[in-house]
Amino acid sequence: MKSHQKGFTLVEIAIVLVIIGLLLGGVLKGQELINSAKVKNLANDFNSISAFVYAYQDKYRALPGDDRAATDHLGANAACARVAACTPAVPPAGLGDGRINGNWIGAAQNDESYMFWQHVRMANLATGTPIVGAADYIPRNAEGGDIGITGDPLNANWTGSFFICSSGIQGRYARQLDIMIDDGNTQTGSVRTITDRQPQAAAFQNIVAGTAQDSQLFTVCFAS
């Protein structure tokens, strides 16, 4: 009596391998689309905040956060940086000087960089709470990091009217972001990468693909 050995034919094995390949390809493509969408969201933050600055400036002839007449423009609940009243007889140094003063991150509540968010929200340019000190007052990026703005130089060798910074961004996304909206070099151009959550940059970070930096967290800043 002959015994017949059961198993897969070459055709069946080939079909299974094709199916596995298609599934893997779909997973990888899906992950690529997710990553691309995340980078686009990060880029949109820079574009949107720049638009807030120019729209406010065009409407009120002042910079948000640096507006010495904020109560006149936005109402009695608007705060001014460094002073209790928005139109003092002798305004303090810095207020209304055409620069958004203060650190981009960890700003004190009386810093212009902190007041920026209240002013653009009360001007109906941005969404979010205008309540100073609220838990969700500082906006978040797609990675859950803080977003901030300042007119103070982040580095003596980098100039701009203002700088928008976004923290907690993995190196792989920081690199893609630079490729998308700048020159692809995280140390040069209008988009640069610094040590994560630092108010200033001693040096800009060069992110090398395929290294541990891909998953390391950085802060990406945009100069305008």
Express each pLDDT in 81-94 by its tens digit.
666 666 555 666 68
**Predicted confidence band of residue 7 (pLDDT cuts 50, 70, 90):** low
142-181 exposure pattern, b = at least 16 Cβ within 10 A, e = fewer: beebbbbbbbbebbeebeeebbbbbbbbbbbbbbbbbeeb
Element (H, E) at 24: helix 10-60
Which pLDDT belongs to residue 40? 94
Per-residue model confidence as pLDDT tens digits over 19-33: 777 677 666 555 565
HEC assignment per residue over 40-102: HHHHHHHHHHHHHHHHHHHHHCCCCCCCCCHHHHHCCCCCECCECCCCCCCCCCCCCCCCCCC
How confident is the model over 107-124, as pLDDT tens digits?
A: 788 889 999 999 999 999
Predicted local distance difference test score (pLDDT) of residue 172: 94
Tens digits of per-residue pLDDT, 185-213? 999 999 999 999 999 999 999 999 999 99
Question: CA end-to-end span of the chain, whole Å?
Answer: 86
What does the alpha-carbon distance between residue 67 and residue 56 come to, in Å, rounded to a whole number? 10
Smallest CA-to-CA distance from 188 within 149, 221, 151, 147 is with 221
2 pLDDT higher than 70:
no
In eight-state DSSP terms, residue 175 is H
| Comparison of pLDDT for 50 and 108, the residue scoring more | 50
pLDDT at 109: 86
pLDDT value at position 37? 85
Q: Is residue 92 within 8 Å of 66, Cβ to Cβ?
A: no
